Amino acid sequence: MAAEGSNVKSVGRAFELLEYIADAGGELTLSQVATAANLPTTTIHRLLQTLVSQGYARQLANRRYALGPKLVRLGEVANRQFGQMAMPQLKSLVARLGETANLATIDGDNVVYVSQAPSPHAMRMFTEVGGRAHLHSTSVGKAILAQLRDDQVRDIITRAGMPHSTDRSLSTIDELLADLAACRERGYAIDDGEHEVGVRCFAMAVPDMPVLTAVSVSGPMSRVGEDFADQAIPVLREVVADISAAAHAS
């Protein structure tokens, strides 16, 4: 039984190491991982070498450790299953508001769309499942960033930059931090034509998720006016609570 308990503890530590590497932006030295895990270097080295041999981690030419290729397939399958799980709630959102609903998560320094229920209207937004976008210019991205500390946001933006998708995209980190402060205060994020020209989006974080996640409702400004929030936010609040409950029940 002692050996079995030790094996279970090693599995838990191995997953923690992968999370430390991911949280650091994708690369860490052996000593940095050991410091983060508060464990002896010899123990960390043994765990990392096991992960490398199985393809779940890589050792780079500079001796740093990075996430391995096998995690890509696992992530793709997990995202697909998660997206399918949330589809009933997204379809409910579309039925009630008439506009496209998206579920997105953070992936590295970007946002990735994992599920979508399209609007019945002919004119829709261009985002597709599997598509990636910068966090600072999307409503789902800002809803996700608003859950982080300002120093964490600065680290992400330093790595990812703030390219302009449209002439309305935010230009500086100070503008973004002010926008995120407003997001936290009101409880939802707005993309006012910052990612796609003529498209307005409202998004809200899904609470109590292991990975930062958000849901958005989006449509052309001709249909989605600034006052659309009065109708959309109560529905979004119900939907994100239902998705969180479904995720914890599964």
Radius of gyration of the chain (CA): 20
Whole-prediction pTM value? Answer: 0.75
Residue spans of alpha helices (H) in 63-117: 70-97
pLDDT above 90: residue 236: yes
Give mean pLDDT, residues 2-15.
68
The model's confidence at residue 39, banded by pLDDT at 50, 70 and 90, is confident
Of residues 38 and 176, which shows the higher confidence score? 176
Q: Where are the beta strands (DSSP E) in 29-151?
A: 57-59, 65-67, 100-107, 110-117, 132-134
Alpha carbon distance, N-terminus to C-terminus of the chain = 29
Q: What is the mean pLDDT of the chain?
A: 88
Please report the pLDDT score of residue 158 as a whole number: 93
Residue 195: is it exposed, middle or buried by C-beta count within 10 angstroms (0-12/13-18/19+)?
buried
Give the confidence band of 96 by pLDDT, cuts at 50, 70, 90: very high
Which domains can be identified in the chain, with CATH numbers? Answer: 2-68 (1.10.10.10), 72-249 (3.30.450.40)
Residue-wise pLDDT tens digits, 97-152:
999 999 999 988 899 898 999 988 866 566 778 888 999 999 999 999 999 999 99
Amino acid 15: pLDDT = 84
Specify the range with the lowest mean pLDDT, choosing from 15-29, 137-151, 225-239: 15-29
Q: What is the pLDDT of residue 226?
A: 80
Burial class (CB in 10 A: 0-12, 13-18, 19+), 183: buried
